[in-house]
DNA sequence: CAGGCTTTGAACGTTTCCGTACATTTTGCC
DNA sequence: GGCAAAATGTACGGAAACGTTCAAAGCCTG
């Protein structure tokens, strides 16, 4: 056929001098994809645009990840693994319970502030009803340690008398998560509706202190 | 031309018996669109699908709203107007400041719980960096009264000695918003990661009480 | 040095999806 | 009854955007 011949006749110039680096290529794709999915959502992000922003080509995205959805899931899984690593890395056991809690809350605020992409990915995933999270075996096994950590901390604080008894550790965890998360997730609408820019350094620090204060006030004996 | 003739030849069966109701048609489209945009986001929602779910046709969507984006903005504007109406409707002045705050927080939690579509729309808008909110004159003039209300309430409470002085009313507002919002916005990921279903009635009520408690603990004198 | 894994690159097929063209009818108001 | 606004329905243009297909070659390890 004429078409087959036309294809055969095409001369393809090759690039030389590249080093074989599968992990690097995957890394590069994942980094770009994370940013794009976080910025525009799953359906808003464009495979062609992600490809254009990588140092490789669309071809390799499909080579390594199969399709757009699986790329998204890979990004999501990595994001959750990162925050888990962060959580595990905090050493709180040496501190008194109240100081440890203050540090945990502060660290949580800082992590969210420093990783807006993570926050946005979680928003995107919530819009999609967490259906990708649900199907991901990797994340199901992840079993966030954060709640267990709060449970321990709270138990310690009650025992030593610095926290009041009768609280559900889940409420403490949800409160600190909510405050740290919302602070980043709703920055844009807060800016437009309240004319207040949480990205500004002074506002950021003040809010951080207020959040720590609030969580401590919640657990303090009355 | 043959094409023109073919079109001319087409016989279009009309539907009869409908009543003239522009507002009703707009209403119907807006309701469906809100649900779809809330469920799937701006880029995830499909105009054809929205049309299919209305009792009218795609033709009318473009007739009334021009294009997808303007339909989305209309939905967003209405959602913000609704919450503003709700906020204005609360009568808190007759109550002591602490009781008034408790009622305000409870009502806020209830509103978010009862209007998950609103919560999701705000999430979607945040993903888009609030660019539609920014351009909407309607919303810019809306000037949420909620913050002013908290400011008054807080002033009253400090004067009567039930609240401690030195807080920024903005922090109170952000805290109560964050807790009420996150409770709904992150339900899906909370369910998957913590295996805890906030939609369940018992969990819902317990969390509501904990949120009220937390905000009151924040402002209580020490 | 050989074979398989990695990489290249552009063009193409196909589907999806937004928005519009058409011609016409129905309704309600004056 | 006349008229303007409201409503109808389908098919189609055209642009995205996802994913694939071709053919070939460089790189590294064993």
Contact: B130, A171; criterion CB under 8 Å? no
Q: Select from A120, A183, A196 the Cβ nearest to the Cβ of B170.
A: A196
- Is nucleic acid strand C under 7 Å from A20's C-beta? yes
Protein contacts on strand C: list nucleotides below 7 Å from a Cβ.
Answer: 5-13, 16-28
Which letter, b or e, does each residue of A78-87 get, where b requires 16 or more Cβ atoms within 10 Å of its Cβ? bbbeebbebb
Provide the pLDDT for residue A21: 74
> Could you tell me if B118 and B82 are in contact, meaning their C-beta atoms sit under 8 angstroms apart?
yes
Domains parsed from chain A with CATH numbers: 21-66 (1.10.10.60), 77-219 (1.10.357.10)
> Could you tell me if A171 and B207 are in contact, meaning their C-beta atoms sit under 8 angstroms apart?
yes
- Is nucleic acid strand D under 7 Å from A1's C-beta? no
Q: Over chain B, what is the mean pLDDT?
A: 90
Does the pLDDT at position A75 exceed 90?
yes
Give the contacts of B129 (CB within 8 A, at least 6 positions apart): A188
Distance B49 CA to C3 C1' (A): 52
Dump pLDDT digits (tens) for B47-95. 999 999 998 889 999 999 999 999 999 999 999 999 999 988 888 999 9
Residue B141 DSSP SS3: coil
Residue B191 DSSP SS3: helix
User: Minimal Cα–Cα distance from B203 to chain A, Å?
Assistant: 10
Residues of A in contact with B193 (CB under 8 A): 80, 133, 139, 142, 144
Among the listed residues B209, B199, B203, B211, the one whose alpha carbon sits nearest the alpha carbon of residue B113: B199
* Residue A101 CA: distances (Å) to CA of A27, A111, B54: 34, 15, 51
Provide the pLDDT for residue A123: 98
Does the pLDDT at position A92 exceed 60?
yes
Contact: A189, B120; criterion CB under 8 Å? no
- Of all nucleotides, the one whose C1′ comes closest to residue B8's CA is C23
Does the pLDDT at position B151 exceed 80?
yes
Provide the pLDDT for residue B12: 45
Contact: B127, A40; criterion CB under 8 Å? yes
Residue A163 DSSP SS3: coil
Provide the pLDDT for residue A145: 83
Residue whose CA lies closest to nucleotide D11 C1':
B7
Does the pLDDT at position B189 exceed 90?
yes
Does the pLDDT at position A3 exceed 60?
no
Dump pLDDT digits (tens) for A26-59. 999 999 999 999 999 999 999 999 999 998 889 9
Dump pLDDT digits (tens) for B104-143. 999 999 999 999 999 999 999 999 999 999 998 888 777 7
Residue A129 DSSP SS3: coil
Dump pLDDT digits (tens) for A132-166. 999 998 888 777 788 999 999 999 999 999 999 99
The residue of B188, B211, B219 whose CB has the most chain A CBs within 10 angstroms, and thus the best one to mutate to test that interface, is: B188
């Amino acid at each position: 056929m004429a078409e087959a011949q036309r294809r055969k006749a095409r001369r393809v110039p090759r690039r030389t001098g590249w080093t074989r680096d599968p992990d690097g290529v995957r890394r590069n794709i994942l980094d770009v994809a994370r940013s794009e999915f976080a910025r525009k959502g799953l359906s808003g992000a464009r495979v062609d645009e992600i490809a254009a922003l990588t140092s490789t080509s669309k071809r390799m995205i499909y080579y390594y990840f199969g399709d757009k959805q699986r790329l998204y899931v890979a990004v999501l899984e990595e994001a959750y693994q990162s925050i888990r690593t962060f959580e595990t890395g905090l050493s709180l056991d040496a501190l008194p319970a109240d100081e440890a809690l203050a540090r945990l809350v502060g660290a949580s605020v800082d992590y969210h502030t420093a990783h807006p992409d993570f926050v946005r990915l979680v928003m995107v995933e919530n819009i999609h009803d967490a259906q990708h999270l649900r199907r991901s075996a990797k994340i199901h096994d992840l079993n966030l340690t954060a709640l267990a950590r709060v449970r321990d901390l709270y138990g310690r604080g009650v025992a030593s008398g610095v926290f009041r008894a009768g609280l559900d550790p889940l409420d403490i965890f949800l409160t600190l998560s909510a405050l740290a998360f919302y602070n980043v997730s709703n920055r844009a609408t807060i800016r437009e509706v309240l004319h207040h820019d949480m990205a500004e350094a002074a506002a950021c620090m003040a809010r951080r202190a207020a959040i720590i204060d609030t969580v401590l006030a919640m657990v303090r004996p009355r």
